[in-house]
Amino acid sequence: GENVEQHPSTLSVQEGDSAVIKCTYSDSASNYFPWYKQELGKGPQLIIDIRSNVGEKKDQRIAVTLNKTAKHFSLHITETQPEDSAVYFCAASSGNNNAGNMLTFGGGTRLMVKP
Amino acid sequence: KAGVTQTPRYLIKTRGQQVTLSCSPISGHRSVSWYQQTPGQGLQFLFEYFSETQRNKGNFPGRFSGRQFSNSRSEMNVSTLELGDSALYLCASSSLAGASTGELFFGEGSRLTVL
């Protein structure tokens, strides 16, 4: 099955700096790669996603890049703010016809933005 | 629009007991997925239901089961509880009807502690 590795596990940045989180996946058939943000005491919330027919996607201060050949994708947050502090999860969908909404998640990155 | 509602939010059980967790998806969503979140194993897929049918199942023992009702509400059951079943159980709903993976809307979870 699919295996997703996520690095780093913790990341501390100064407010205004950029943050980059990287993930690798094992199943070349995976075609959907979302990123979720989980704040304390809440469930994960989708912040951006990318499908395998696109190499990059941007939404304001957040961008995701995908390299299908190398089987890795990254989350980029620019101009970080204290409210960006949370745990971020990458995920991949196996991409077969029966994948439905089954996601394989990375281990998570705890991002701390220091004011 | 109300979000995904999970009950109970917190519960404590002892080894050998069983537990039933409930999830009400966002109105109109027919797909309901369950995930287990632990510090050691992260977010792991349990199963997904769509139109009362289990569409996918993760790598968990048969003690973990679920079902979905005609109104899309879902329940999961864990029998013969073990200490290792202590976790946050997250339910997520999705509006996508087909096999394509899309945004999951997570509830706040049911935190189970097994003593």
Q: Cβ separation of A43 and B107 shorter than 8 Å?
A: yes
**Residue B90 forms contact with A (CB below 8 Å):** yes
Tell me the pLDDT tens digit for each residue of A59-75.
999 999 999 999 999 99
| pLDDT exceeds 60 at position B67 | yes
Residue of B nearest to A94 (CA): B101
Q: Which amino acid is it at A15?
A: E
- Chain B residues in contact with A108 by the CB 8 A cut-off are 42-43
Tell me the pLDDT tens digit for each residue of A96-106.
556 667 899 99
Quick one: pLDDT at residue A54?
81
Q: Which amino acid is it at A38?
A: Q
Q: How many CB atoms within 10 Å of residue B10?
A: 10
Q: Once rounded to an integer, what is the mean pLDDT over residues B1-14?
A: 94
Between CA A40 and CA A53 the distance in angstroms is: 33
| pLDDT exceeds 70 at position B88 | yes
Q: Which amino acid is it at B113?
A: T
Q: How many CA atoms lie within 13 A of B90 on its CB side?
A: 21
**Beta-bridge partners for B36:** B44, B89
Low-confidence ranges of chain A (pLDDT < 50): none
